[in-house]
Structure 1
């Protein structure tokens, strides 16, 4: 997955968007872990999520970030939630934006889901603060 040779325009666009949102270090680590078993899946994510949905006009990266965080929190996808809260430093979504999204999660998906998500977000922001990040 590391070489763009023979890749579609959607893959190229997706990889650029993925890097902009998640950061080069995250994307490099994810692509380095790709094996023949999940290479097609990684291509699907890059083209579908990042090259299609995240690259569409109409919503800003900040708005997409807030929506993604709310959905991941509601569904209990904790690892992905942590990754996307960490990515807010690249999307422009603030801690206040995240908190507002999680309030919606509490109303529409349940207090336990929001409670767990707040715990994850607080951990990400505490870690960023301890490293001097604005995060």
Structure 2
């Protein structure tokens, strides 16, 4: 799950525009979906990244990549999940997602693929 600080910033920004949407972005995914049994948080994070990538929601992807790191996914797991999507979502969406991964890793001080 994303850090409480990141979630709070997103919710506060949305509250100024639409309090109902701010409530829904917390209540539905985190109160209903993430609380369900059957998948752990790492699995849910990987599915979320894949769904965001496939739907072309790159502007929301950084939020969920940070969340995936927060629940303990390793950088290589995130990169592999994104790469796995190339044959299902196509190169343009996958490359857009990989650039978001690269940006988040850079912001977090995570080195990957240097060698």
TM exceeding 0.5: yes
Which residue of 2 is the match for residue 72 of structure 1? 52
Q: Does 1:120 align with 2:100?
A: yes
Q: Give the number of the structure with larger relative contact order, counting CA–CA contacts within 8 Å between residues 6 or more apart.
A: 2
Runs of 4+ in 1 over 6 A off after TM superposition: none
Residue pairs, 1:1-135, within 5 angstroms: 21-33=1-13, 34-35=15-16, 37-129=17-109
Larger radius of gyration: 1
Q: TM-score with structure 2 length normalisation?
A: 0.84
Structure 2 residue runs without a partner (length 5+): 111-115
Q: What are the superposed Cα offsets for residues 37-64 of structure 1, whole Å, 9 maximum, x if unpaired?
A: 5111122222211111111111111010
Q: 1:118 to 1:31 in 2, by over 3 A?
A: closer
RMSD over equivalenced CA pairs, Å: 1.6
Structure 1 residue runs without a partner (length 5+): 1-20, 131-135
Q: TM-score with structure 1 length normalisation?
A: 0.73
Greater Cα offset, 104-113 or 87-96: 87-96
